[in-house]
Amino acid sequence: MNVPDPQAIANAWMSQMSDPAQWQSWFSKLPAPDANPLAAIMQDAGATVQPQAMEKLKNQYLEDFGALWQDFLAGKTPALQDRRFSSPAWQGNPMSSFNAASYLLNAKFLTAMVDTVETSRHQKQKIRFAVQQIVDAMSPANFLATNPEAQEKLIETKGESLTKGLANMLADMNKGHISLSDERAFEVGRNLATTPGTVIHENPLFQLIQYTPATATVHQRPLLMVPPCINKFYILDLQPENSLVRYAVEQGNTVFMISWVNADKSLEATTWDDYIEKGVIEAIRVTREVSGQDKLNLFGFCIGGTLVSTALSVLAARGDNPAASLTLLTSLLDFSDTGVLDVFIDETQVSMREQQIKEGGLMLGRDLASTFSSLRPNDLVWNYVQSNYLKGNEPPPFDLLYWNSDSTNLPGPMFCYYLRNMYLENRLREPGKLTVGGATVDLSTIDAPVFVYGSREDHIVPWTSAFGSMNLLNPGKPKANRFVLGASGHIAGVINSPVKNKRSYWINDKPAGRAAAKPLDPEAWMAGATETPGSWWPQWAAFLAEHGGKDVKPKAMPGNATYQAIEAAPGRYVKVKG
């Protein structure tokens, strides 16, 4: 489906808004299929609308707009229940407030039109997404000519805000992304990713970091963390007060971390099998040798959870079971519901990507970053267009958003395999449907207790989908699995340190037993769950301690005779820019 360029449509729409006298005539034509942005999208998708529902919407729209127009002529200021228009500049200027109210009415109308569309669920979701992109782009807050806040600042600064805004825009064009944070405020290894440790092993795919113990005794079994390869590992080791790595070390764990390479042309033929065999499985082998422990506590975050679970299944097929426990944070094993990402996944789009890079090439990190930003355009795009460019502000320092802009490339063959076999065909959940490293993949063969975490407002891994792992792992042994639900989203829900004591989490350690034909139900779990204020991290620490073995004195030096210090953490791989 070809989606119209939101900026072009926005410019066309806003050019017609310059004169209020034109509005009533133009808006009265908007409901007609050939006079609004939805028409082209629907035509491309082969969709039709319900005529009666459309007629009802049209009449309601004309009634609402007529009332708004009369209020405008009478000098009444409309109420604007939208944070984009909450400042006095919008409320105090009749033209601006009417402009904003008209935009909100049109946005409401276009969004409602999607519900009248008759097409498949998947196509309807794509239409809704495309319409929302257009609606967000059309906001009068996004244009200097219709943003009274930006205009006031232009006057107050005697044009300096516009000069700074243009400079900010040109700088971002050179960087290839919108600045979400003051990027001068952070440096990996200086004030991000500062937990003390040592790189003890590396290959073309990853470096392995061993962190320095911080307690008098440590759990006998080490913790090996597999972060997402789709971005950089230091999301788990931001600043000391919100570092999950530092917290795990302070809880008496000997922590090992995979730091994935930022792929370049030398790796453009690398496959999914390589990431399993030369990545996760090799990291497991080295961690066992260095620690002297046969059993490890294993951890996967996002796609890292998909990778480590696949690796454990491959090892199980070879008669090896290295996991004392497994932790999965906002990870997908069952891809039945992939949330808003579903709009990017269909046969046409996956095949197109395969034609481009399946046999070799790179999936560029900046393209992935743009995709994820499009899922929340008001928060991650337009908010910064308004502040950085229209008003000439500098974004404040924010470690999480700095990380968000530090993109990572992926090898094309690996990425295409992941798209097709997981997202499109959902083959990982079915025993025997995938063969990796010459072994048949069957997640039910992973013999280890599992801690599964989901975030309630996660738009990338819906929490009910994260919960789906409960039904794939340890079948017939529901007590071996534990689910914890945290507040907030995909990243902010995970990075919720007890130091700040924010948000809350839900637990329910008495889910109904599971029969083969009756899987555990996430909604039933939630109905019996208890909410607790604060961070869920202590729950995870207790799980690790339970499966960590006895407490022993930490080793004096990292590595061993074979795997010796290469460089200090965080290593050089994580510092390579995309």
User: What DSSP string runs through 94-140?
Assistant: HHHHHHHHHHHHHHHHHHHHHTTEES-HHHHHHHHHHHHHHHHHT-G
The values of phi and psi at residue 266, to 5°, are -70, -15
List the chain pLDDT tens, one digit each, 578 residues.
333 343 343 344 334 333 334 433 433 333 333 335 555 555 655 667 778 888 888 889 889 989 999 988 888 889 898 999 999 999 888 899 999 999 999 999 888 888 888 888 888 888 888 889 989 999 999 999 999 999 999 999 999 999 999 999 999 998 888 999 999 999 999 999 999 999 999 999 999 999 999 999 999 999 999 999 999 999 999 999 999 999 999 999 999 999 999 999 999 999 999 999 999 999 999 999 999 999 999 999 999 999 999 999 999 999 999 999 999 999 999 999 998 888 889 999 999 999 999 999 999 998 898 888 888 899 989 999 999 999 999 999 999 999 999 999 999 999 999 999 999 999 999 999 999 999 999 999 999 999 999 999 999 999 999 999 999 999 988 789 999 999 999 999 999 999 988 899 999 987 655 544 578 899 999 999 999 999 999 999 999 999 999 999 999 999 999 999 999 999 999 999 87
CA 213 to CA 197: how far, in whole Å? 9
Class of domain 197-364+407-575: alpha beta
The 8-class DSSP code of residue 387 comes to: I
Is residue 304 within 8 Å of 441, Cβ to Cβ? no
The count of C-alpha atoms lying within 13 angstroms of the C-alpha of 183, restricted to the half-sphere facing its C-beta, is 13
- Read off the pTM: 0.89
Is residue 392 within 8 Å of 156, Cβ to Cβ? no
pLDDT recorded at residue 8: 41
Helix (H) or strand (E) holding 350: helix 347-357
Structural domain boundaries in the chain: 6-156, 197-364+407-575
Q: Which residues pair with 202 in a beta bridge?
A: 207
CA 257 to CA 195: how far, in whole Å? 11
Residues designated as active site: 302
Query: E strands along 351-447, which residues?
Result: 362-363, 410-411, 435-436, 439-440
Is residue 575 within 8 Å of 568, Cβ to Cβ? no
Closest C-alpha among 253, 196, 202, 244 to residue 224: 253
The count of C-alpha atoms lying within 13 angstroms of the C-alpha of 249, restricted to the half-sphere facing its C-beta, is 21
